[in-house]
Amino acid sequence: MNWPRTQELSYSHLMRFIADYVAQLPYALYLKGNGSQANSGRYSMLTAQPYMRFEGQQGQVEVTHPNGDTSYHSSCPFELLKQYMPEPTHCDLPMTGGLMGYWAYELGSVLEPSVPRRVDDLQLPDMQLGLYDWVILIDEQEKTAQLIQQGLHPNAEQVWQRNCETFTRDTLHCESKNFEFMGELQSNMSFAQYQRAFKQVKHHLQQGDCYQVNLAQRFSAAFKGSYWGLFCEMNRINPAPFSAFMRLPNSAIISCSPERFLSYKNGIVETKPIKGTLPRECDPIELINSEKDRAENLMIVDLMRNDIGKVCKPGSVQVPKLFEIESYTSVHHLVSTVTGELLDDLSAIDLLKACFPGGSITGAPKISAMQKIANLEPNARHTYCGSIGYIDYAGNMDTSIAIRTGVATRNNFYVWAGGGIVNDSICEAEYQECFDKIKPFMQIIEQAYSV
């Protein structure tokens, strides 16, 4: 048989057993759409056991090769990835697996050394990516699923036979999905501390150092139990077009992000920055009518036009949608769309490098805002405000901005929330916006803690 290969799977069987089984495998990754056509939410991908891994930490990347050997590299992480990406191959499927995982916010300090690093108390990698040979592609609208394998794994035939046999069994052994919280969420900043940081941001704005700075808090609660169970419950009450779960050796990434960072397909680049948030119970017309929110959004649109303009064909960068409302379980967002045509000699990795991290979670100008963030926030952001997604074997890419994103460890759960501060921002409102954004996480924790 030739490669790549496909095998139809039972959608109902996938939902009952296969997803739970795959999620417990090493480096399992689930990119979960919400079933909508918008933002590529129609499709989901489920995979595990990459045949190569790339783990970045403070400027050095550890590469685990297919034979199990490791090598260490101090070159630019993005340039290193380009060396190992297979040559793009044409594929008619919407997604084919490939390079998948996360790029943490702290990679910004590698690209721009003038940005200091924050305290890394969680000791998570700056980058955790794998080349995945097989993937289960799920059409959430048609309720279909298929196993796809490229044949790049050194033992591709054995992997294919094993997966086909495993995923057609009547039942599969899966770990418990029970989890427990032993306390309420606590912020790493009291209101007084947040207020002091807010005043410092205002000072920088008035001095003309920045036009906007995104200031975030980190919340944590004592946790134990199933990472996957927590993700499933989170996704149930707060479905999002860029939900993601990634299992790491001693922790897991749990994301319910509504925001696309960058997509690239057939030469076309798209980014959809979010700036402007209201609780769901409010009338979204308030966002449309808010001069402050529109100004915030426009600043980031200009920043993203500049970022993608570095790698796009001259004159191709456009803003087809400005100030649109997108509504989710707990909030309304103000969203714009920026597009362009990538230069012919560049790849998706070049695009990601030129724009990382996303401007919607830094502020503007980007480097100056990142410097202020590093000096004001007590802890590293890690995956939060980084990016989660894939670059497939056809060379296409789709990535999220990792907002509404947490990290579960054996003892604690951490989640972040922040907002863009501009000259007319009000401290109490910005502080409350952080809680509005993590409301679904708070709901789960309060229910689990009160039982």
Active-site positions read 259, 275
Cα(157)–Cα(134) distance, rounded to whole angstroms? Answer: 11
Burial class of residue 254 in the structure, from the number of CB atoms within 10 Å of its CB (0-12 exposed, 13-18 middle, 19+ buried):
buried
Number of helices (H) and strands (E), helices first, in the chain? 13, 25
Q: Residue 335, CB half-sphere, CA atoms under 13 Å: how many?
A: 17
Here the tokens at position 76 are 């630019």
What is the residue whose two structure tokens read 């427990």? 180
Query: DSSP string of 270-332?
Result: EE--EEEEEETTS-THHHHH-HHHHHHHHHHHHHHHHHHHTTB-TT--EEEEEEEEEE-SSEE
Decide if 400 contacts 259 (C-beta within 8 A): yes
1 burial via Cβ count (<10 Å: 0-12, 13-18, 19+): exposed
Give the Cα separation of 207 and 215 in Å (integer). Answer: 18
> Partners of 63 in the beta sheet?
54, 71
Closest C-alpha among 213, 290, 225, 277 to residue 438? 277
Q: What is the CA radius of gyration of the chain?
A: 21
Q: What value, to the nearest 5°, has the Cα angle with vertex 284 and ends 320 and 365?
A: 55
